[in-house]
């Protein structure tokens, strides 16, 4: 069977199931999502063991991630059961009322760095099902055992066609996006991967939206008053190295003042990053990519601190004038670039950056005037702005925005985390003068 035939069988099942899922009351969708969450929780120890063996992620990290996975399934189900996904737009004077309808089958691509929360039963799958859309989800090739176990657990929970997992390489991915029955795509991964899916979706006779989250360097701006407070270093270093630096919200660029305090902050942060022990990376390819960057960083002619563990955490200290090329690229793994600049240049540096998932400001009370100038620039560049914190640790709540301007995502107006994620897979319809008993 060819990749297209394999994919078409899965998509046809989703198309057959779409009317029944669309007609299902939101409370019944909630019950399915709660049942899936219960099924995962009941086999939690087994899931965590398989995922830990396959990914190298710690048991503690995966335990928290499984909780997040089950909690977000329940949250999304509760959200639609309460009717909070419905439109409130009514114009009686014109006889108009807006409703929302599910868009139809959705293709989801599981992510490697969150094998549970962004895996085959992650936020994209949960929000599509909550919206009333069947899902055909492609497992990430790096985690076949984890994906198969999750599918084995939850597939019996859903009626046929509501949830289908497939596996394969790039040919299967492109065939899935090209399949005529698919109406939208949810993706978390690399810019190259996201762009390939977008190009395929745009080339279809009926183009469809691709909601792709493709990473960022998530800049952190340390204002002068905050630079004098070295207690902030530990949290930033932990955000850079946590989960071996394999988080899409990892701070990849930290900008500090070109002052004595800023230089000391940079050196302390670099030492803290380099001195952290981290676990192995998710795949050999990712490990090789990180090793290449460690080697390349050492040839830049800039101060570099490299750890002794394997993989080796690395921190590069550079003047802001050197921020070009690889110093402004995302480096997957425990790596950070620390730049020194005049605080007066912070807004212009922010304005020169590409779109980001997050931007963080560290400031003391005396820094508020400088922050007042910087924050509006950051709002044009990032989907979420953090004040005196770290961007890692994305909360699954109503107000979360996990997205951002291109190239962080393909749809800056959307989020892949939180209840608003459901909106990606709904379409508004205006009803004019339709009798009330038919609504």
Catalytic (active-site) positions: 213, 248
Tell me the two tokens of residue 1: 């069977």
Tell me the two tokens of residue 382: 């990032």
Q: How would you classify the pairing of strands 253-257 and 220-222?
A: parallel
- In the beta sheet, which residues pair with residue 79? none
Coil, strand or helix: which one is 231?
helix
- DSSP assignment of 120-183 equals TTSHHHHHHHHHT--EEEEPPTT-HHHHHHHHHHHGGGSPTTTEEEE---HHHHHHHHH-TT--
d(CA 180, CA 35): 30
353 neighbors 373 (Cβ within 8 angstroms): no
- DSSP assignment of 87-134 equals ---EEGGGTEEEEEEE---EEEE--SS-TTTTSTTSHHHHHHHHHT--
240 neighbors 338 (Cβ within 8 angstroms): no
267 φ/ψ angles, rounded to the nearest 5 degrees: -65, -40
Q: For residue 17, give the nearest of 127, 132, 97, 152 by alpha carbon.
A: 132
Q: Angle 217-188-13 (CA atoms, 0-180°, nearest 5)?
A: 175
């Amino acid at each position: 069977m060819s990749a297209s035939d394999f994919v078409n069988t899965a998509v046809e099942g989703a198309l057959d199931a779409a009317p029944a899922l669309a007609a299902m009351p939101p409370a019944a969708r909630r019950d399915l999502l709660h049942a899936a969450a219960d099924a995962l929780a009941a086999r939690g120890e087994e899931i965590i063991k398989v995922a830990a063996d396959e990914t190298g992620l710690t048991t503690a990290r995966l335990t928290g991630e499984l909780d997040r996975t089950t909690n977000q399934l329940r949250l999304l189900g509760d959200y639609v059961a309460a009717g909070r996904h419905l439109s409130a737009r009514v114009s009686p004077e014109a006889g108009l009322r807006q409703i929302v309808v599910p868009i139809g089958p959705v293709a989801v691509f599981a992510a490697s760095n969150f094998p549970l929360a962004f895996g085959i039963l992650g936020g994209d799958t949960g929000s599509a099902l909550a919206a009333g859309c069947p899902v055909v989800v492609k497992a990430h090739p790096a985690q076949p055992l984890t994906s198969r176990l999750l599918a084995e657990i939850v597939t019996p929970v859903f009626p046929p066609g509501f949830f289908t997992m497939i596996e394969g390489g790039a040919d299967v991915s492109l065939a899935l996006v090209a399949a005529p029955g698919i109406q939208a795509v949810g993706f978390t991964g690399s810019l190259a991967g996201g762009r390939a899916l977008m190009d395929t979706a745009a080339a279809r006779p009926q183009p469809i939206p691709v909601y792709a989250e493709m990473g960022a360097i998530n800049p952190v701006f340390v204002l002068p008053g905050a630079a004098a407070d070295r207690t902030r270093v530990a949290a930033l270093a932990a955000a850079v190295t946590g989960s071996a630096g394999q988080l899409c919200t990892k701070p990849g660029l930290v900008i500090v003042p070109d002052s004595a305090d800023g230089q000391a902050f940079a050196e302390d942060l670099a030492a803290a990053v380099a001195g952290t022990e981290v676990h192995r990376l998710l795949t050999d390819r990712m490990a090789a990519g990180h090793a290449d960057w460690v080697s390349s960083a050492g040839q830049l002619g800039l101060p570099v601190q490299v750890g002794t563990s394997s993989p080796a955490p690395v921190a590069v200290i550079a003047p802001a004038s050197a921020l070009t090329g690889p110093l402004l690229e995302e480096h997957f793994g425990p790596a950070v670039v620390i730049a020194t600049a005049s605080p007066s240049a912070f807004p212009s540096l922010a304005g020169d950056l590409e779109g980001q998932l997050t931007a963080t400001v560290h400031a003391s009370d005396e820094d508020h005037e400088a922050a007042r100038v910087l924050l509006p620039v950051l709002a044009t560049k990032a989907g979420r702005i953090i004040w005196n914190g770290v961007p890692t640790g994305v909360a699954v709540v109503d107000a979360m925005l996990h997205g951002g301007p291109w190239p962080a995502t393909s749809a800056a107006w959307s989020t892949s985390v939180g209840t608003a994620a459901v909106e990606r897979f709904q379409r508004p319809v205006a009803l004019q003068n339709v009798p009330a008993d038919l609504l």
